[in-house]
Structure 1
Amino acid sequence: MTMEPGRHTRTAAIALAVVLAAAGCAKSEETTAAPAASDTQGRQVVQTPTGDAGPTCTLAKFGGTKFDLKAATVGFSQSEKEANPFRIAETRSIKDEAAKLGIQKLRVTNAQSQFSKQITDVQQLIAQGAQLLVIAPLNSDGWEPVLQQASAKKIPIITVDRKINATSCGDYLTFIGSNFYEQGRRAADQMIKALDGKGKVAILLGAPGNNVTTERTNGFKEQVRKQAPGIEISFEQTGEFAREKGQQVTEQLIQSNPDINGIYAENDEMALGAVTALKGAGKEAGDIKIVSVDGTRSAVQGIVDGWLYSVIESNPRFGPLAFETAQKFLDGQAIPDKVIISDREYAGDTAKAGLDEAY
Structure 2
Amino acid sequence: MKKLFYLLFGLVLILLLQSCTSRVEAPAPSPALDSEAPPAISEWLKSSASNVNPGKTITLGFSQLGSESAWRLANTASVQDAAAESGIRLIMRNAEQSQSKQFEALRSFIEMKVDVIAIAPVVESGWEDILLEIKQAGIPVVILDRSVDVKDSSLFVTTIGSNLYEEGVRAGKYLLDLMRSQPGPIRIAELQGTKGSTPSIQRGEGFRSIIKARKDMVITQSAPADFTEEKGREVMRTFLEVPEDERPQVLFAHNDDMALGAIESIEEAGLRPGVDIIVISVDGSRKALQQLAAGKVNAVVECNPLLGPQLMQTAKEIMAGRTLPKRMVPPEDVFTQERAAQEISKRKF
TM-score (ref. length: structure 2): 0.79
Task: Please give the alpha-carbon distance, in whole angstroms, between the structure 1 residues aligned to 2:289 and 2:266.
Answer: 17
| Stretches of structure 1 lacking an aligned partner (at least 5 in a row) | 1-66
Instruction: Name the CA shift for 1:320/1:102 in 2 (closer, same or farther; >3 Å).
Output: same
Task: Please give the alpha-carbon distance, in whole angstroms, between the structure 2 residues aligned to 1:168 and 1:177.
Answer: 20
Aligned residues: 290
2:326 to 306, 324, 337: 337
1:110 match: 94
Asked if 1:232 is matched to 2:218, the reply is yes
1:92 match: 77
What is the deviation of 1:280? 1.1
What is the deviation of 1:70? 5.6
Structure of greater relative contact order (alpha carbons < 8 Å, 6+ residues apart): 1
Q: CA RMSD in A?
A: 1.9
Task: Please give the alpha-carbon distance, in whole angstroms, between the structure 2 residues aligned to 1:211 and 1:84.
Answer: 16
What is the deviation of 1:119? 1.1
Task: Please give the alpha-carbon distance, in whole angstroms, between the structure 1 residues aligned to 2:224 and 2:87.
Answer: 41
1:200 match: 187
- Please give the per-residue CA displacement for 1:119-166, whole angstroms capped at 9, x wherever unaligned: 111211221221111111111112234212211121111111111122
Task: Please give the alpha-carbon distance, in whole angstroms, between the structure 2 residues aligned to 1:319 and 1:146.
Answer: 24
Equivalent residues in 2 for 1:88-237, closer than 5 Å: 88-103=73-88, 105-166=89-150, 170-196=154-180, 197=182, 198=184, 199-226=186-213, 228-237=214-223
1:313 to 286, 302, 320: 302
* Partner SS, residue 71 of structure 1: coil
What is the deviation of 1:339? 1.0
Q: Identity across aligned pairs (percent)?
A: 30
Task: Please give the alpha-carbon distance, in whole angstroms, between the structure 1 residues aligned to 2:248 and 2:123.
Answer: 31
Task: Please give the alpha-carbon distance, in whole angstroms, between the structure 2 residues aligned to 1:181 and 1:73.
Answer: 32
User: In 2, are the aligned partners of 1:69 and 1:327 still within 8 Å (CA)?
Assistant: no
Task: Please give the alpha-carbon distance, in whole angstroms, between the structure 1 residues aligned to 2:235 and 2:55.
Answer: 45
2:254 to 266, 284, 290: 266
Task: Please give the alpha-carbon distance, in whole angstroms, between the structure 1 residues aligned to 2:174 and 2:261.
Answer: 20
- Please give the per-residue CA displacement for 1:15-60, whole angstroms capped at 9, x wherever unaligned: xxxxxxxxxxxxxxxxxxxxxxxxxxxxxxxxxxxxxxxxxxxxxx
User: In 2, are the aligned partners of 1:194 and 1:289 still within 8 Å (CA)?
Assistant: no
User: In 2, are the aligned partners of 1:77 and 1:111 still within 8 Å (CA)?
Assistant: yes
What is the deviation of 1:168? 6.3
Task: Please give the alpha-carbon distance, in whole angstroms, between the structure 1 residues aligned to 2:299 and 2:102.
Answer: 33
Aligned amino acid, residue 87 of structure 2:
G
Task: Please give the alpha-carbon distance, in whole angstroms, between the structure 1 residues aligned to 2:320 and 2:111.
Answer: 25
Task: Please give the alpha-carbon distance, in whole angstroms, between the structure 1 residues aligned to 2:77 and 2:222.
Answer: 33
Task: Please give the alpha-carbon distance, in whole angstroms, between the structure 2 residues aligned to 1:267 and 1:69.
Answer: 41
| Stretches of structure 2 lacking an aligned partner (at least 5 in a row) | 1-52
1:293 to 278, 282, 285: 282
Task: Please give the alpha-carbon distance, in whole angstroms, between the structure 2 residues aligned to 1:309 and 1:335.
Answer: 38
Larger Rg: 2
